[in-house]
Amino acid sequence: MAVPVEVSPEARSTDGRVQRGNETRRAVLGRAVQIASVEGLEALSIGRLAADLGLSKSGVFAGFGSKEELQLATVRAARRIFYDRVVTPALERPEGAARLLALCEHWLDYSRGRVFAGGCFFYAVTAEFDARPGPLRDALAESALEWEGLVADLARAADASGELPTGTDPVELALLLTALMESANSLAVLHDDPSRYDRAARTIRRLLGFPTA
């Protein structure tokens, strides 16, 4: 027979504060990734986020402590969202060209569907920090290398299985695929023209040897 565990009022109070703190942090980061995808990471401030969400500045500050930590936490939150929307569903496909195609198509859907208001979060914010050494640049560089490495790895796997068109260099293919996706994102956002995604998708299918009809 299980013995009930009595929880003290102090413990209940602590648990409640922790839960509220976690909820506040999630709300702040949910708003922060959207702002940054449109206006950049430098547009983030504890005061602005507090005002947008109807929270106290002290409550937001307690969750992050500094603007830089807020920015870094925003990058980490965006990475989790990106992985859940793009990478995880693609990796559920069998290894080979179909998995690589799924990765690209999920990426285009992620940008087209405005998971982040400004299109691809990482495309939007990287230009701010690519020439500015520091923790934010390091975090963004790590994310970029992880993404490029994943596309290249899936291209190599598809090549090893003999599923790519003859003469395809998997590393060059990965470079072309990422360039096509980034171009579609940039131009679709700039011109408010979703047909850019359709063109990129057709080109990607041709490069991978899939029918385009």
- Interior angle at CA 56, CA 50 and CA 60, nearest 5: 60
| Cα 144 from Cα 8, distance rounded (Å) | 47
Task: Give the per-residue pLDDT at 20.
Answer: 74
Residue numbers of the domain that contains 128: 11-207
Domain-embedded: residue 43: yes
213 residues of the chain, pLDDT tens digit each: 555 657 566 655 566 666 776 788 999 999 999 999 999 999 999 999 999 999 989 888 888 989 999 999 999 999 999 999 999 999 999 999 999 999 999 999 999 999 999 999 999 999 999 999 999 999 999 999 999 999 999 999 999 999 999 999 999 999 999 999 999 999 999 999 999 999 999 999 999 999 986
Task: Give the per-residue pLDDT at 5.
Answer: 59
Domain-embedded: residue 213: no
Domain-embedded: residue 5: no
Domain count, the chain: 1
Domain-embedded: residue 18: yes
SS (H, E, C) the chain: CCCCCCCCHHHHHHHHHHHHHHHHHHHHHHHHHHHHHHHCHHHCCHHHHHHHHCCCHHHHHHHHCCHHHHHHHHHHHHHHHHHHHHHHHHHCCCCCHHHHHHHHHHHHHHHHCCCCCCCCHHHHHHHHHCCCCCHHHHHHHHHHHHHHHHHHHHHHHHHHCCCCCCCCCHHHHHHHHHHHHHHHHHHHHHHCCCHHHHHHHHHHHHHCCCCCC
CATH number, position 80:
1.10.357.10
Task: Give the per-residue pLDDT at 19.
Answer: 73
Task: Give the per-residue pLDDT at 90.
Answer: 98
Task: Give the per-residue pLDDT at 21.
Answer: 67
pTM (predicted TM-score)? 0.88
Task: Give the per-residue pLDDT at 78.
Answer: 98
Domain-embedded: residue 4: no
Task: Give the per-residue pLDDT at 22.
Answer: 79
Task: Give the per-residue pLDDT at 50.
Answer: 94
